[in-house]
Amino acid sequence: MAMTVTISNNSSAKRVTVQIPTSSGDAIEAWVYLPGGSGPHPAVVMAHGIGGIKAGGLAPFAERFRDEGFVAIAFDYRNFGGSGGKPREVLSVPRQRADYSTVIGWAVEQPYIDPRQIIAWGTSFAGMHIVELAVSDTRLAAAIAQSPLTDGLAAAMMSTLKNGSRIFALALLDSRSTSPVTECPGTCPSALRRTAHSGRSL
């Protein structure tokens, strides 16, 4: 059963943190940005791109949505950020899509959200999830994919042979390492521990 947070009409809270249960038993941590006025409000469910966490730049987008009258729900995928799950910082495309679905399902149940006006938002790698959700999740009223990854092969073909060969070699090295995507100390969003320095020189 999904956790429900009740927001009083006179609440001064602009953002609350919730833990949303999943079928694996690991909770998804989400920041819920609450607009003023009485609901139910439309809602935007949002997550970051590859290796990213909600603290790594989603707040300005969520705040703008909130200021325009939307409930904005920014969440961390399981195994990342404030969400549960081990091993940490290990990416799984099916799990990330399942996390979007879980958070959308949670949003539909909230009394201050209009279940007919749920929007999914994602950037970069998450934009790929949004493209899939837009055609498969009938609970969505709309979807926003910001700079989505839609075809890795086509993008690679646009690179020069020299750069493409270097990127491919780095990808092979990364695929053979056991180093996951890891959070930096402090508030740095995310980086590949062993290949980040090489990647900056491309």
171 located within any domain: yes
Pair (65, 161) in one structural domain:
no
The distance from CA 90 to its chain's CA centroid, rounded to whole angstroms, is 14
Pair (48, 121) in one structural domain:
yes
Pair (59, 140) in one structural domain:
yes
CA 96 → CA 31, 48, 156, 179, 199, distances in Å?
Answer: 17, 10, 23, 19, 24
Per-residue pLDDT of the chain (202 residues; tens, 9 = 90+): 444 454 444 444 689 999 999 999 999 999 999 999 888 999 999 999 988 999 999 999 999 999 999 999 999 999 999 999 999 998 899 999 999 999 999 999 999 999 999 999 999 989 999 999 998 999 999 999 998 887 767 666 666 777 767 767 777 776 665 445 444 444 333 333 333 333 334 3
User: Residue 131 — φ and ψ, nearest 5°?
Assistant: -60, -45
CB atoms within 10 A of CB 103: 26
pLDDT at res. 55: 93
pLDDT at res. 162: 76
Say how many domains are in the chain: 2
Q: Between the CA atoms of 192, 197, 198 and 201, what dihedral angle is there, to the nearest 10 degrees?
A: 130
5 located within any domain: no
Domain containing residue 194: 153-202
User: Residue 93 — φ and ψ, nearest 5°?
Assistant: -60, -50
Pair (131, 179) in one structural domain:
no
Pair (95, 76) in one structural domain:
yes
Pair (41, 107) in one structural domain:
yes
**Could you tell me the two tokens for 25?**
């038993």
- In sequence order, which residues have a C-beta less than 8 Å from that of residue 19 and are 6 or more positions away? 3, 27, 28, 29, 30
Pair (22, 101) in one structural domain:
yes
- Give 32's strand partners: 16, 73
On the 0-12 / 13-18 / 19+ scale of CB atoms within 10 A, 167 is middle
Pair (102, 173) in one structural domain:
no
37 located within any domain: yes
1 located within any domain: no
Pair (59, 139) in one structural domain:
yes
Pair (36, 136) in one structural domain:
yes
Pair (117, 191) in one structural domain:
no
Pair (146, 167) in one structural domain:
no
Given CA atoms 67, 64, 138, 85 in this order, what sign does their dihedral have? Answer: negative
Question: What gap in Å lies between CA 104 and CA 109, rounded to an integer?
Answer: 9
2 located within any domain: no
| pTM beyond 0.75 | no
